[in-house]
Chains A and B, each alone.
Chain A
Protein backbone atom coordinates (compact mmCIF):
# COMPACT_ATOMS: atom_id res chain seq x y z
CA UNK A 1 0.00 0.00 0.00
CA UNK A 2 1.23 3.45 -0.83
CA UNK A 3 -0.40 4.88 2.21
CA UNK A 4 2.58 5.77 4.30
CA UNK A 5 2.27 9.36 5.36
CA UNK A 6 5.30 11.58 5.06
CA UNK A 7 7.29 11.61 8.23
CA UNK A 8 6.40 14.68 10.18
CA UNK A 9 9.29 16.23 12.03
CA UNK A 10 7.14 17.66 14.77
CA UNK A 11 7.00 15.63 17.98
CA UNK A 12 3.91 14.07 19.50
CA UNK A 13 3.40 16.84 22.03
CA UNK A 14 3.67 19.41 19.25
CA UNK A 15 1.00 17.57 17.28
CA UNK A 16 -1.29 17.53 20.31
CA UNK A 17 -0.84 21.30 20.54
CA UNK A 18 -1.47 21.71 16.83
CA UNK A 19 -4.60 19.58 17.07
CA UNK A 20 -6.16 22.12 19.43
CA UNK A 21 -6.32 24.46 16.45
CA UNK A 22 -6.67 21.84 13.75
CA UNK A 23 -8.45 18.72 15.03
CA UNK A 24 -7.52 16.69 11.94
CA UNK A 25 -3.86 16.97 12.95
CA UNK A 26 -4.65 14.40 15.62
CA UNK A 27 -4.91 11.83 12.84
CA UNK A 28 -1.13 11.81 12.66
CA UNK A 29 -0.99 10.55 16.26
CA UNK A 30 -3.41 7.80 15.31
CA UNK A 31 -1.16 6.81 12.43
CA UNK A 32 1.90 6.80 14.65
CA UNK A 33 0.52 5.02 17.67
CA UNK A 34 -2.42 2.86 16.61
CA UNK A 35 -0.58 -0.11 15.06
CA UNK A 36 1.35 -1.04 18.20
CA UNK A 37 -1.48 -0.29 20.58
CA UNK A 38 -3.97 -2.18 18.43
CA UNK A 39 -1.69 -5.21 18.25
CA UNK A 40 -1.31 -5.17 22.04
CA UNK A 41 -5.06 -4.96 22.70
CA UNK A 42 -5.72 -7.68 20.11
CA UNK A 43 -3.36 -9.90 22.01
CA UNK A 44 -5.17 -9.25 25.27
CA UNK A 45 -8.80 -9.16 24.19
CA UNK A 46 -9.00 -10.52 20.65
CA UNK A 47 -9.50 -8.70 17.35
CA UNK A 48 -13.11 -7.62 17.74
CA UNK A 49 -12.77 -5.86 21.08
CA UNK A 50 -9.45 -4.42 19.93
CA UNK A 51 -11.17 -2.42 17.19
CA UNK A 52 -13.61 -1.03 19.76
CA UNK A 53 -11.01 -0.18 22.35
CA UNK A 54 -8.60 1.47 19.94
CA UNK A 55 -11.43 3.71 18.78
CA UNK A 56 -12.42 4.46 22.38
CA UNK A 57 -8.83 5.10 23.48
CA UNK A 58 -8.12 7.60 20.74
CA UNK A 59 -11.52 9.26 21.08
CA UNK A 60 -10.86 9.71 24.81
CA UNK A 61 -7.37 11.01 24.18
CA UNK A 62 -8.74 13.39 21.56
CA UNK A 63 -11.43 14.73 23.88
CA UNK A 64 -8.96 15.16 26.73
CA UNK A 65 -6.07 16.45 24.66
CA UNK A 66 -6.23 19.85 26.35
CA UNK A 67 -5.33 18.10 29.57
CA UNK A 68 -2.22 16.52 28.11
CA UNK A 69 0.52 18.65 29.61
CA UNK A 70 3.52 17.18 27.82
CA UNK A 71 5.28 16.22 31.04
CA UNK A 72 4.94 12.53 30.20
CA UNK A 73 5.42 10.96 26.81
CA UNK A 74 2.27 11.05 24.72
CA UNK A 75 2.63 7.30 24.19
CA UNK A 76 2.61 6.57 27.91
CA UNK A 77 -0.40 8.84 28.40
CA UNK A 78 -2.24 7.09 25.57
CA UNK A 79 -1.39 3.61 26.82
CA UNK A 80 -2.52 4.70 30.29
CA UNK A 81 -5.96 5.50 28.88
CA UNK A 82 -5.97 2.17 27.04
CA UNK A 83 -4.91 0.27 30.16
CA UNK A 84 -7.86 1.67 32.09
CA UNK A 85 -10.23 0.66 29.29
CA UNK A 86 -8.70 -2.81 29.11
CA UNK A 87 -9.13 -3.18 32.87
CA UNK A 88 -12.85 -2.61 32.41
CA UNK A 89 -12.90 -5.81 30.38
CA UNK A 90 -11.09 -7.70 33.10
CA UNK A 91 -13.80 -10.32 33.46
CA UNK A 92 -14.20 -10.84 29.74
CA UNK A 93 -10.43 -11.25 29.43
CA UNK A 94 -10.37 -13.76 32.30
CA UNK A 95 -13.20 -15.73 30.71
CA UNK A 96 -11.19 -16.11 27.54
CA UNK A 97 -8.12 -17.30 29.45
CA UNK A 98 -10.22 -19.79 31.39
CA UNK A 99 -11.83 -21.11 28.22
CA UNK A 100 -8.37 -21.50 26.71
CA UNK A 101 -7.15 -23.33 29.82
CA UNK A 102 -10.16 -25.64 29.78
CA UNK A 103 -10.41 -26.47 26.08
CA UNK A 104 -6.91 -25.85 24.75
CA UNK A 105 -8.42 -23.58 22.12
CA UNK A 106 -7.82 -19.88 22.58
CA UNK A 107 -11.03 -17.95 21.85
CA UNK A 108 -8.99 -14.79 21.22
CA UNK A 109 -7.22 -16.56 18.40
CA UNK A 110 -10.33 -17.94 16.82
CA UNK A 111 -9.87 -17.94 13.08
CA UNK A 112 -6.10 -18.04 13.27
CA UNK A 113 -5.91 -21.78 13.65
CA UNK A 114 -4.62 -22.27 10.13
CA UNK A 115 -1.40 -20.65 11.17
CA UNK A 116 -0.93 -22.74 14.25
CA UNK A 117 2.46 -23.80 12.99
CA UNK A 118 3.86 -20.47 14.12
CA UNK A 119 3.08 -21.22 17.68
CA UNK A 120 4.12 -24.80 18.21
CA UNK A 121 6.24 -24.30 21.28
CA UNK A 122 3.78 -21.93 22.87
CA UNK A 123 0.87 -24.25 22.25
CA UNK A 124 1.81 -26.73 24.93
CA UNK A 125 2.22 -24.10 27.61
CA UNK A 126 -0.57 -21.80 26.44
CA UNK A 127 -3.41 -23.31 28.46
CA UNK A 128 -1.29 -23.40 31.62
CA UNK A 129 -0.25 -19.77 31.18
CA UNK A 130 -3.83 -18.83 30.46
CA UNK A 131 -4.96 -20.41 33.72
CA UNK A 132 -2.38 -18.34 35.58
CA UNK A 133 -3.28 -15.15 33.71
CA UNK A 134 -6.93 -15.67 34.56
CA UNK A 135 -6.05 -15.68 38.24
CA UNK A 136 -4.23 -12.34 38.18
CA UNK A 137 -5.80 -9.13 39.42
CA UNK A 138 -6.32 -6.41 36.88
CA UNK A 139 -3.37 -4.19 37.88
CA UNK A 140 -0.96 -7.10 38.17
CA UNK A 141 -2.05 -8.35 34.78
CA UNK A 142 -1.69 -4.89 33.25
CA UNK A 143 1.83 -4.53 34.60
CA UNK A 144 2.96 -7.99 33.57
CA UNK A 145 1.53 -7.85 30.08
CA UNK A 146 2.78 -4.32 29.40
CA UNK A 147 6.20 -5.83 30.05
CA UNK A 148 5.78 -9.11 28.15
CA UNK A 149 3.49 -8.07 25.30
CA UNK A 150 3.75 -4.27 25.34
CA UNK A 151 7.55 -4.53 25.43
CA UNK A 152 7.79 -1.61 27.83
CA UNK A 153 10.46 -0.95 30.43
CA UNK A 154 9.60 -0.93 34.13
CA UNK A 155 9.89 2.85 34.11
CA UNK A 156 7.53 3.18 31.15
CA UNK A 157 5.05 0.88 32.84
CA UNK A 158 5.22 2.99 36.00
CA UNK A 159 4.45 6.14 33.99
CA UNK A 160 1.71 4.44 32.02
CA UNK A 161 -0.08 3.06 35.05
CA UNK A 162 0.68 6.06 37.24
CA UNK A 163 2.35 3.88 39.88
CA UNK A 164 5.67 4.16 41.70
CA UNK A 165 8.46 2.16 40.10
CA UNK A 166 8.83 -0.06 43.17
CA UNK A 167 5.17 -0.98 43.10
CA UNK A 168 5.42 -1.99 39.45
CA UNK A 169 8.43 -4.19 40.16
CA UNK A 170 6.61 -5.84 43.05
CA UNK A 171 3.51 -6.48 40.97
CA UNK A 172 5.47 -8.02 38.14
CA UNK A 173 7.53 -10.12 40.53
CA UNK A 174 4.36 -11.45 42.12
CA UNK A 175 2.69 -12.13 38.78
CA UNK A 176 5.70 -14.00 37.42
CA UNK A 177 5.83 -16.16 40.52
CA UNK A 178 2.20 -17.14 39.95
CA UNK A 179 2.91 -18.01 36.34
CA UNK A 180 5.92 -20.10 37.31
CA UNK A 181 3.81 -22.17 39.67
CA UNK A 182 1.51 -23.12 36.80
CA UNK A 183 4.32 -24.25 34.51
CA UNK A 184 5.89 -27.70 34.62
CA UNK A 185 9.11 -27.98 36.60
CA UNK A 186 12.08 -26.88 34.55
CA UNK A 187 14.23 -29.88 33.72
CA UNK A 188 17.87 -29.42 34.57
CA UNK A 189 20.05 -29.69 31.53
CA UNK A 190 22.13 -32.81 31.62
Chain B
Protein backbone atom coordinates (compact mmCIF):
# COMPACT_ATOMS: atom_id res chain seq x y z
CA UNK B 1 0.00 0.00 0.00
CA UNK B 2 1.49 3.36 -0.92
CA UNK B 3 1.31 6.43 1.30
CA UNK B 4 -1.61 7.84 -0.65
CA UNK B 5 -3.75 4.71 -0.30
CA UNK B 6 -2.91 4.54 3.38
CA UNK B 7 -3.96 8.15 3.79
CA UNK B 8 -7.25 7.52 2.02
CA UNK B 9 -7.98 4.70 4.47
CA UNK B 10 -7.37 6.88 7.48
CA UNK B 11 -10.36 8.23 9.44
CA UNK B 12 -12.86 6.77 7.00
CA UNK B 13 -15.49 6.52 9.71
CA UNK B 14 -15.38 10.30 10.00
CA UNK B 15 -15.85 10.74 6.28
CA UNK B 16 -19.43 9.56 6.26
CA UNK B 17 -21.80 12.13 4.86
CA UNK B 18 -24.85 13.10 6.81
CA UNK B 19 -28.18 14.37 5.64
CA UNK B 20 -28.00 18.14 5.17
CA UNK B 21 -30.91 18.62 7.51
CA UNK B 22 -29.10 16.83 10.30
CA UNK B 23 -26.13 19.13 9.74
CA UNK B 24 -28.31 22.20 9.54
CA UNK B 25 -29.89 21.44 12.89
CA UNK B 26 -26.44 21.80 14.41
CA UNK B 27 -24.84 24.32 12.08
CA UNK B 28 -26.91 27.34 11.20
CA UNK B 29 -25.70 29.11 8.06
CA UNK B 30 -27.94 32.05 8.89
CA UNK B 31 -25.99 32.89 11.98
CA UNK B 32 -22.72 31.05 11.50
CA UNK B 33 -23.27 29.33 14.79
CA UNK B 34 -24.29 25.91 15.84
CA UNK B 35 -27.99 25.53 15.37
CA UNK B 36 -30.67 25.10 17.97
CA UNK B 37 -28.91 27.43 20.36
CA UNK B 38 -27.27 24.40 21.90
CA UNK B 39 -23.57 24.76 22.51
CA UNK B 40 -21.85 21.49 22.83
CA UNK B 41 -18.81 21.48 25.05
CA UNK B 42 -15.69 21.47 22.95
CA UNK B 43 -14.30 18.46 24.69
CA UNK B 44 -16.48 15.45 24.66
CA UNK B 45 -15.03 14.38 27.98
CA UNK B 46 -16.70 17.17 29.89
CA UNK B 47 -20.46 17.17 30.13
CA UNK B 48 -23.25 15.49 28.30
CA UNK B 49 -25.39 17.70 26.15
CA UNK B 50 -28.25 19.09 28.13
CA UNK B 51 -30.30 22.06 27.08
CA UNK B 52 -30.09 25.06 29.36
CA UNK B 53 -33.77 24.67 29.92
CA UNK B 54 -33.05 21.60 31.96
CA UNK B 55 -31.68 23.54 34.90
CA UNK B 56 -34.98 23.48 36.71
CA UNK B 57 -35.19 19.77 36.14
CA UNK B 58 -31.81 19.16 37.72
CA UNK B 59 -33.14 20.56 40.96
CA UNK B 60 -35.98 18.10 40.71
CA UNK B 61 -33.49 15.29 40.61
CA UNK B 62 -34.04 14.33 37.02
CA UNK B 63 -32.32 15.76 34.03
CA UNK B 64 -34.44 15.86 30.96
CA UNK B 65 -34.46 18.07 27.97
CA UNK B 66 -35.17 17.54 24.35
CA UNK B 67 -31.96 17.27 22.48
CA UNK B 68 -31.84 19.18 19.25
CA UNK B 69 -29.59 16.61 17.71
CA UNK B 70 -31.50 14.00 15.80
CA UNK B 71 -28.43 12.63 14.12
CA UNK B 72 -25.06 13.02 15.58
CA UNK B 73 -21.94 13.66 13.60
CA UNK B 74 -20.46 10.42 14.76
CA UNK B 75 -23.39 8.42 13.53
CA UNK B 76 -24.89 9.97 10.49
CA UNK B 77 -28.04 9.01 8.75
CA UNK B 78 -28.49 5.50 7.50
CA UNK B 79 -24.82 4.74 7.56
CA UNK B 80 -25.11 1.24 8.98
CA UNK B 81 -25.59 -1.64 6.62
CA UNK B 82 -28.34 -4.15 7.30
CA UNK B 83 -25.82 -6.50 8.86
CA UNK B 84 -24.62 -3.76 11.16
CA UNK B 85 -28.17 -2.76 12.01
CA UNK B 86 -28.87 -6.38 12.84
CA UNK B 87 -25.74 -6.46 14.87
CA UNK B 88 -26.67 -3.34 16.86
CA UNK B 89 -29.85 -4.98 18.08
CA UNK B 90 -28.17 -8.34 18.32
CA UNK B 91 -25.41 -6.90 20.47
CA UNK B 92 -28.04 -5.14 22.58
CA UNK B 93 -29.93 -8.43 22.91
CA UNK B 94 -26.81 -10.35 23.92
CA UNK B 95 -25.82 -7.75 26.47
CA UNK B 96 -29.36 -7.47 27.83
CA UNK B 97 -28.96 -11.09 28.91
CA UNK B 98 -26.03 -10.10 31.09
CA UNK B 99 -27.98 -7.48 33.02
CA UNK B 100 -27.81 -8.11 36.75
CA UNK B 101 -30.77 -9.64 38.56
CA UNK B 102 -32.34 -8.13 41.63
CA UNK B 103 -35.30 -8.13 43.97
CA UNK B 104 -36.85 -4.97 42.57
CA UNK B 105 -37.51 -3.59 39.15
CA UNK B 106 -36.71 0.10 39.39
CA UNK B 107 -37.53 2.64 36.70
CA UNK B 108 -37.21 6.37 36.61
CA UNK B 109 -38.49 7.90 33.43
CA UNK B 110 -39.54 11.20 32.00
CA UNK B 111 -41.89 11.69 29.12
CA UNK B 112 -42.23 14.99 27.32
CA UNK B 113 -44.30 16.59 24.63
CA UNK B 114 -43.09 19.59 22.68
CA UNK B 115 -45.46 22.48 22.02
CA UNK B 116 -44.90 25.53 19.86
CA UNK B 117 -45.85 28.75 21.66
CA UNK B 118 -46.43 31.83 19.56
CA UNK B 119 -48.05 33.12 16.43
CA UNK B 120 -45.67 32.38 13.57
CA UNK B 121 -42.80 30.21 12.49
CA UNK B 122 -40.50 33.21 12.76
CA UNK B 123 -41.77 34.29 16.14
CA UNK B 124 -42.31 31.35 18.43
CA UNK B 125 -40.55 29.18 20.96
CA UNK B 126 -40.93 25.57 21.90
CA UNK B 127 -41.77 24.23 25.31
CA UNK B 128 -41.13 20.74 26.62
CA UNK B 129 -44.07 19.66 28.76
CA UNK B 130 -42.81 16.92 31.05
CA UNK B 131 -43.97 14.25 33.40
CA UNK B 132 -41.78 11.95 35.41
CA UNK B 133 -42.33 8.75 37.31
CA UNK B 134 -40.12 6.90 39.79
CA UNK B 135 -41.36 3.35 40.28
CA UNK B 136 -40.31 0.27 42.22
CA UNK B 137 -41.91 -3.13 41.70
CA UNK B 138 -41.10 -6.32 43.57
CA UNK B 139 -41.10 -9.77 42.03
CA UNK B 140 -44.73 -10.31 42.97
CA UNK B 141 -45.75 -7.21 41.06
CA UNK B 142 -46.46 -5.13 44.13
CA UNK B 143 -44.96 -1.71 43.93
CA UNK B 144 -44.94 1.92 44.73
CA UNK B 145 -44.47 4.94 42.59
CA UNK B 146 -44.15 8.66 42.87
CA UNK B 147 -44.82 11.39 40.41
CA UNK B 148 -41.79 13.58 39.73
CA UNK B 149 -42.89 17.17 39.83
CA UNK B 150 -41.32 18.69 36.74
CA UNK B 151 -42.06 22.11 35.35
CA UNK B 152 -42.32 22.69 31.65
CA UNK B 153 -39.19 24.17 30.14
CA UNK B 154 -38.12 25.90 26.94
CA UNK B 155 -36.48 23.35 24.68
CA UNK B 156 -33.29 25.16 23.67
CA UNK B 157 -31.33 28.14 24.96
CA UNK B 158 -32.78 30.11 22.07
CA UNK B 159 -36.30 29.13 23.09
CA UNK B 160 -35.45 30.19 26.61
CA UNK B 161 -34.32 33.61 25.40
CA UNK B 162 -37.55 34.10 23.50
CA UNK B 163 -39.58 33.00 26.49
CA UNK B 164 -37.66 35.45 28.67
CA UNK B 165 -38.10 38.19 26.07
CA UNK B 166 -41.84 37.55 26.38
CA UNK B 167 -41.55 38.30 30.10
CA UNK B 168 -41.01 34.70 31.31
CA UNK B 169 -44.73 33.98 31.60
CA UNK B 170 -45.54 31.29 34.17
CA UNK B 171 -48.42 30.03 32.06
CA UNK B 172 -48.18 29.80 28.31
CA UNK B 173 -50.99 29.15 25.89
CA UNK B 174 -50.89 26.35 23.38
CA UNK B 175 -53.57 25.22 20.94
CA UNK B 176 -55.61 22.08 21.39
CA UNK B 177 -55.85 20.00 18.24
CA UNK B 178 -59.34 19.57 16.84
CA UNK B 179 -60.88 22.01 19.30
CA UNK B 180 -60.85 25.41 17.62
CA UNK B 181 -60.84 28.46 19.90
CA UNK B 182 -59.85 26.33 22.87
CA UNK B 183 -56.46 26.65 24.45
CA UNK B 184 -54.45 24.60 26.84
CA UNK B 185 -51.96 26.08 29.28
CA UNK B 186 -48.54 24.86 30.25
CA UNK B 187 -47.06 25.57 33.67
CA UNK B 188 -43.65 27.19 33.40
CA UNK B 189 -43.27 28.51 36.94
CA UNK B 190 -39.63 28.51 37.89
CA UNK B 191 -39.74 26.09 40.81
CA UNK B 192 -41.43 22.76 41.10
CA UNK B 193 -44.24 23.01 43.59
CA UNK B 194 -43.45 19.61 45.00
CA UNK B 195 -44.53 19.22 48.61
CA UNK B 196 -42.17 16.31 49.23
CA UNK B 197 -42.26 12.90 47.71
CA UNK B 198 -45.53 11.05 48.02
CA UNK B 199 -45.35 7.34 47.31
CA UNK B 200 -48.48 5.71 46.05
CA UNK B 201 -49.14 1.99 45.83
CA UNK B 202 -48.70 0.63 42.36
CA UNK B 203 -50.06 -2.57 40.99
CA UNK B 204 -49.53 -2.03 37.34
CA UNK B 205 -50.49 -3.90 34.23
CA UNK B 206 -48.66 -3.68 30.98
CA UNK B 207 -50.98 -3.93 27.97
CA UNK B 208 -53.15 -6.13 30.09
CA UNK B 209 -50.27 -8.25 31.36
CA UNK B 210 -49.66 -8.53 35.09
CA UNK B 211 -46.08 -8.41 36.36
CA UNK B 212 -46.25 -12.20 36.75
CA UNK B 213 -47.40 -12.60 33.15
CA UNK B 214 -44.59 -10.34 31.96
CA UNK B 215 -42.10 -12.52 33.85
CA UNK B 216 -43.50 -15.59 32.08
CA UNK B 217 -43.29 -14.22 28.53
CA UNK B 218 -41.44 -16.41 26.01
CA UNK B 219 -37.73 -15.79 25.61
CA UNK B 220 -37.47 -16.88 21.98
CA UNK B 221 -38.15 -13.97 19.61
CA UNK B 222 -40.71 -15.73 17.42
CA UNK B 223 -42.61 -17.09 20.39
CA UNK B 224 -42.50 -13.69 22.07
CA UNK B 225 -43.84 -11.98 18.98
CA UNK B 226 -46.64 -14.55 18.81
CA UNK B 227 -47.53 -13.86 22.44
CA UNK B 228 -47.56 -10.13 21.79
CA UNK B 229 -49.73 -10.53 18.71
CA UNK B 230 -52.27 -12.32 20.90
CA UNK B 231 -52.58 -9.32 23.25
CA UNK B 232 -56.03 -7.81 23.13
CA UNK B 233 -56.60 -4.09 23.15
CA UNK B 234 -57.78 -1.12 21.17
CA UNK B 235 -54.77 -0.74 18.95
CA UNK B 236 -55.97 1.94 16.57
CA UNK B 237 -54.75 5.53 16.62
CA UNK B 238 -58.36 6.44 15.93
CA UNK B 239 -61.49 4.52 15.10
CA UNK B 240 -65.15 5.38 15.05
CA UNK B 241 -66.00 2.03 16.62
CA UNK B 242 -63.64 1.30 19.53
CA UNK B 243 -63.32 -2.40 20.29
CA UNK B 244 -60.83 -4.82 21.78
CA UNK B 245 -59.10 -7.07 19.30
CA UNK B 246 -55.88 -9.08 19.16
CA UNK B 247 -52.89 -7.08 18.01
CA UNK B 248 -52.36 -9.74 15.36
CA UNK B 249 -55.58 -8.68 13.63
CA UNK B 250 -53.83 -5.49 12.53
CA UNK B 251 -51.91 -5.30 9.30
CA UNK B 252 -48.97 -3.39 7.91
CA UNK B 253 -47.94 -0.11 9.50
CA UNK B 254 -50.68 -0.26 12.14
CA UNK B 255 -49.32 -3.57 13.37
CA UNK B 256 -45.73 -2.31 13.36
CA UNK B 257 -46.75 0.79 15.30
CA UNK B 258 -48.67 -1.17 17.95
CA UNK B 259 -45.83 -3.70 18.28
CA UNK B 260 -43.34 -0.86 18.65
CA UNK B 261 -45.40 0.47 21.58
CA UNK B 262 -45.52 -2.91 23.30
CA UNK B 263 -41.88 -3.76 22.66
CA UNK B 264 -40.90 -0.29 23.88
CA UNK B 265 -42.71 -0.98 27.14
CA UNK B 266 -41.10 -4.41 27.52
CA UNK B 267 -37.71 -2.75 27.10
CA UNK B 268 -38.45 -0.01 29.62
CA UNK B 269 -41.24 0.16 32.20
CA UNK B 270 -42.28 -3.47 32.36
CA UNK B 271 -40.57 -5.74 34.91
CA UNK B 272 -39.35 -8.09 32.20
CA UNK B 273 -36.54 -10.54 32.98
CA UNK B 274 -33.29 -10.12 31.04
CA UNK B 275 -34.11 -13.00 28.67
CA UNK B 276 -37.45 -11.43 27.72
CA UNK B 277 -35.71 -8.11 27.10
CA UNK B 278 -33.17 -9.82 24.91
CA UNK B 279 -35.96 -11.39 22.87
CA UNK B 280 -37.74 -8.02 22.70
CA UNK B 281 -34.66 -6.47 21.06
CA UNK B 282 -34.78 -9.24 18.48
CA UNK B 283 -38.48 -8.67 17.82
CA UNK B 284 -37.71 -4.98 17.35
CA UNK B 285 -35.13 -5.89 14.72
CA UNK B 286 -37.79 -7.67 12.66
CA UNK B 287 -40.43 -4.90 12.64
CA UNK B 288 -41.27 -3.90 9.07
CA UNK B 289 -39.82 -0.49 8.23
CA UNK B 290 -37.23 -0.49 10.99
CA UNK B 291 -33.96 0.94 9.82
CA UNK B 292 -30.64 2.14 11.21
CA UNK B 293 -30.03 5.80 11.67
CA UNK B 294 -26.54 6.02 13.10
CA UNK B 295 -25.89 7.66 16.43
CA UNK B 296 -27.77 10.17 18.53
CA UNK B 297 -27.73 11.80 21.90
CA UNK B 298 -30.73 11.01 24.05
CA UNK B 299 -32.63 13.70 25.99
CA UNK B 300 -30.34 13.06 28.96
CA UNK B 301 -27.24 13.64 26.87
CA UNK B 302 -26.30 9.95 26.68
CA UNK B 303 -24.81 8.57 23.49
CA UNK B 304 -26.75 5.86 21.75
CA UNK B 305 -27.32 4.03 18.50
CA UNK B 306 -30.58 4.64 16.73
CA UNK B 307 -33.03 2.47 14.87
CA UNK B 308 -36.22 4.08 13.64
CA UNK B 309 -39.50 3.28 12.00
CA UNK B 310 -42.09 5.45 10.24
CA UNK B 311 -45.21 6.50 12.13
CA UNK B 312 -48.43 7.78 10.68
CA UNK B 313 -49.23 9.49 13.95
CA UNK B 314 -47.62 9.72 17.38
CA UNK B 315 -50.81 9.80 19.47
CA UNK B 316 -51.47 7.24 22.18
CA UNK B 317 -53.33 4.29 20.71
CA UNK B 318 -56.89 3.49 21.67
CA UNK B 319 -57.99 6.97 22.79
CA UNK B 320 -59.39 8.79 19.81
CA UNK B 321 -62.29 8.54 17.41
CA UNK B 322 -60.76 10.94 14.88
CA UNK B 323 -57.27 11.86 13.66
CA UNK B 324 -55.38 14.35 15.81
CA UNK B 325 -52.39 15.26 13.69
CA UNK B 326 -51.60 16.54 10.22
CA UNK B 327 -47.91 15.73 9.93
CA UNK B 328 -46.01 12.50 9.46
CA UNK B 329 -43.49 11.17 11.92
CA UNK B 330 -40.89 8.61 12.74
CA UNK B 331 -40.02 6.86 15.98
CA UNK B 332 -36.45 6.51 17.15
CA UNK B 333 -35.30 3.90 19.60
CA UNK B 334 -32.06 5.16 21.10
CA UNK B 335 -30.15 2.14 22.31
CA UNK B 336 -26.99 1.52 24.26
CA UNK B 337 -25.93 -1.77 22.64
CA UNK B 338 -23.02 -2.32 25.03
CA UNK B 339 -25.26 -2.08 28.07
CA UNK B 340 -28.12 -3.90 26.35
CA UNK B 341 -30.44 -1.06 27.25
CA UNK B 342 -33.07 1.11 25.67
CA UNK B 343 -32.18 4.69 26.59
CA UNK B 344 -35.06 6.57 25.05
CA UNK B 345 -37.89 6.53 22.55
CA UNK B 346 -38.35 9.72 20.59
CA UNK B 347 -40.90 10.68 17.95
CA UNK B 348 -39.72 13.18 15.35
CA UNK B 349 -41.48 15.17 12.66
CA UNK B 350 -40.86 13.99 9.12
CA UNK B 351 -43.39 16.18 7.31
CA UNK B 352 -44.60 19.12 9.37
CA UNK B 353 -48.38 19.59 9.57
CA UNK B 354 -49.94 21.56 6.77
CA UNK B 355 -53.40 22.29 5.41
CA UNK B 356 -56.52 20.94 7.04
CA UNK B 357 -58.68 17.87 7.24
CA UNK B 358 -62.43 17.52 7.73
CA UNK B 359 -63.51 15.29 10.58
CA UNK B 360 -66.82 13.56 11.17
CA UNK B 361 -69.16 15.40 13.56
CA UNK B 362 -68.29 15.08 17.23
CA UNK B 363 -70.50 14.61 20.30
CA UNK B 364 -72.34 17.88 19.76
CA UNK B 365 -73.15 16.97 16.17
CA UNK B 366 -71.29 19.95 14.74
CA UNK B 367 -68.84 19.43 11.87
CA UNK B 368 -65.23 19.55 12.93
CA UNK B 369 -62.07 20.39 11.09
CA UNK B 370 -58.43 19.77 11.89
CA UNK B 371 -56.21 22.67 10.90
CA UNK B 372 -52.43 22.93 10.82
CA UNK B 373 -52.52 26.13 12.89
CA UNK B 374 -54.07 24.17 15.79
CA UNK B 375 -51.20 21.71 15.96
CA UNK B 376 -48.67 21.73 18.80
CA UNK B 377 -46.05 20.98 16.14
CA UNK B 378 -47.24 23.63 13.66
CA UNK B 379 -43.82 25.36 13.75
CA UNK B 380 -41.71 22.21 13.87
CA UNK B 381 -39.13 21.59 11.20
CA UNK B 382 -38.38 18.11 9.89
CA UNK B 383 -36.26 16.19 12.37
CA UNK B 384 -37.49 18.02 15.46
CA UNK B 385 -38.99 15.94 18.27
CA UNK B 386 -42.68 16.12 19.14
CA UNK B 387 -42.51 13.76 22.08
CA UNK B 388 -40.17 11.44 23.89
CA UNK B 389 -39.76 9.05 26.77
CA UNK B 390 -36.37 8.80 28.36
CA UNK B 391 -35.46 6.03 30.77
CA UNK B 392 -32.98 7.38 33.26
CA UNK B 393 -33.11 4.19 35.29
CA UNK B 394 -34.50 0.83 34.20
CA UNK B 395 -32.85 -1.97 36.12
CA UNK B 396 -33.23 -4.91 38.46
CA UNK B 397 -31.70 -4.00 41.76
CA UNK B 398 -31.28 -5.26 45.31
CA UNK B 399 -31.38 -1.75 46.64
CA UNK B 400 -34.36 -1.12 48.86
CA UNK B 401 -37.00 1.25 47.58
CA UNK B 402 -37.13 4.49 49.57
CA UNK B 403 -39.65 4.31 52.39
**Cβ contact within 8 Å between A48 and B14:** no
Of all chain B residues, which has the CB nearest A92?
A: B42
Instruction: Tell me which of B7, B28, B328 has the highest count of chain A C-beta atoms within 10 A of its own C-beta.
Output: B7
Q: How many A-B residue pairs have CB under 8 A?
A: 158
**Cβ contact within 8 Å between A2 and B351:** yes
**Cβ contact within 8 Å between B18 and A121:** no
Residue A11 is within 8 A (CB to CB) of chain B in the complex: no
Shortest A183–chain B CB gap in Å is 5
State which of B3, B24, B34, B295 has its C-beta within 8 Å of the C-beta of A180.
B3
**Cβ contact within 8 Å between A179 and B3:** yes
Of all chain B residues, which has the CB nearest A121?
A: B9
User: Quick one: CB contact mask for B1-16 with A, threshold 8 Å, 1 for yes?
Assistant: 1111011111111111
**Cβ contact within 8 Å between B3 and A30:** no
A100-157 residues with Cβ-Cβ distance < 8 A to B are 106, 108-112, 114-115, 118-119, 121-122, 125-126, 129-130, 144, 148-149
**Cβ contact within 8 Å between A39 and B17:** yes
Known: A47-B74, A109-B13. A35 touches B19 (CB 8 A): yes
**Cβ contact within 8 Å between B6 and A122:** yes
**Cβ contact within 8 Å between A52 and B34:** yes
Residue B193 is within 8 A (CB to CB) of chain A in the complex: no
**Cβ contact within 8 Å between A148 and B4:** yes
**Cβ contact within 8 Å between A1 and B74:** no
**Cβ contact within 8 Å between A183 and B330:** no
State which of A35, A58, A122 has its C-beta within 8 Å of the C-beta of B18.
A35
Of all chain A residues, which has the CB nearest B3?
A: A179
**Cβ contact within 8 Å between A59 and B29:** yes
**Cβ contact within 8 Å between A1 and B21:** yes
Size category, B interface? 35 or more
State which of A1, A52, A61, A119 has its C-beta within 8 Å of the C-beta of B12.
A119
Question: What chain B residues lie within 8 Å of A115 (beta carbons)?
Answer: 13
Q: Complex formed: what's the CA distance from A62 to B29 in Å? A: 8
Known: A3-B19, A35-B23, A179-B7. A55 touches B350 (CB 8 A): no
**Cβ contact within 8 Å between A119 and B9:** yes
Residue B359 is within 8 A (CB to CB) of chain A in the complex: no
Of all chain A residues, which has the CB nearest B348?
A: A1
Shortest A28–chain B CB gap in Å is 10
Residue A42 is within 8 A (CB to CB) of chain B in the complex: yes
Size category, A interface? 35 or more
Question: What chain B residues lie within 8 Å of A47 (beta carbons)?
Answer: 14, 72-74
Question: What chain A residues lie within 8 Å of B382 (beta carbons)?
Answer: 1-3
Known: A1-B19, A179-B7. A55 touches B13 (CB 8 A): no
B66-89 residues with Cβ-Cβ distance < 8 A to A are 72-74, 77
**Cβ contact within 8 Å between B18 and A106:** no
Shortest A60–chain B CB gap in Å is 7
Residue B383 is within 8 A (CB to CB) of chain A in the complex: yes
Q: A residues bordering B, Cβ < 8 Å?
A: 1-3, 26-27, 30-32, 34-36, 38-40, 42-43, 46-52, 54-56, 58-62, 106, 108-112, 114-115, 118-119, 121-122, 125-126, 129-130, 144, 148-149, 176, 179-180, 183, 186
Given contacts A40-B15, A55-B26, list 12 more A-B pairs with CB under 8 A: A1-B21, A1-B77, A34-B20, A38-B73, A42-B15, A55-B27, A55-B33, A108-B11, A119-B13, A129-B6, A179-B3, A186-B2
A-B contact pairs, 11 of them (CB 8 A): A30-B29, A39-B14, A39-B15, A48-B40, A55-B27, A59-B33, A62-B30, A108-B11, A119-B12, A122-B12, A125-B1
